[in-house]
Structures are given as C-alpha cells and as structure tokens.
Amino acid sequence: MSDHPDPWASVARKLMIHPVHAKVPGRGRFRVKGLYNSLSLKESLETRRLQQQVILQASASTVTGNILIIFSKNVDHRSIALLLNKAIEEISGSIREPGSRQRLQA
C-alpha cells in the first residue's frame, strides 16, 4: 500500500465523474454519473466539447457510462475533469430523459 494519497480523492468526491484512465498526457477516460443509457447526456457532452478550446475531441458511450476526452497536452487531467463536471452540472439542469417528467440526475 502506498503512503501517497490518491491525487483524485479530494476532487472525485466533489465531482460527478471519476477518472478511469488519466496517465497519458492529452488523453483521459472518465466515468460519468448518469451517462449510462442516456443518449441525451451523451449528445450534450459531445456537443459541448466544442465550447472548450482545450478539448479537441470527446466520445461518450452510453453502454459503458464513460467519456474519452482528447485535449491539449499542456492541460492537466484535473483541469479537464473540472471542465467536464461543470458541463455536466449545466446540462443536468436542462436535460429530461424521454418519457420522463424528471430532470436527469447526473
């Protein structure tokens, strides 16, 4: 067991995402709470990436609940996680799942 604390621990507790793979500069895979089986969240996340100049590509999966983000190598994974979380918070207030009267709880 390592004596070093997990650098994601304090961030992940506050976010609706969890890093799945965040070792390669410029590439990160994150698990997104609420993405599993949510086509509307998938489409919103992939579209929103265009609003962030540092995010080059985003590919979300409703099957796994993960999103792959390709971003500028000079940006760290934690910053991308925060951007992604902010986008999810904004989206979750406006998305309603088909056939549901409740807003998506991301």
Point out which residues pair with 56 in neighbouring strands: none
Residue 34 lies in a domain: yes
47 is in which domain, residue-wise?
A: 11-92
Structural domains in the chain (count): 1
Mean pLDDT of the chain: 79
Listed residue (96, 88, 67, 75) closest to 15, CA to CA: 88
* Interaxial angle between packed helices 77-92 and 39-48, expressed in degrees from 0 to 180 and rounded to the nearest 10: 130
Q: Could you tell me the pTM of the whole model?
A: 0.72
Confidence of residue 90 (pLDDT cuts 50, 70, 90): confident
**Portion of the chain with pLDDT greater than 90, in percent:** 42
Q: For residue range 34-80, list pLDDT tens digits in order.
A: 899 999 989 988 887 756 788 999 999 999 999 999 999 999 999 99
Residue 83 and residue 52 in contact, taking contact as beta carbons nearer than 8 Å = yes
**Distance between alpha carbon 101 and the CA centroid of its chain, in Å?**
24
CATH number at residue 53: 3.30.1360.10
Q: How far is the C-alpha of 67 from the C-alpha of 51, rounded, in Å?
A: 16
Please say if the pLDDT value at position 96 is more than 80: no
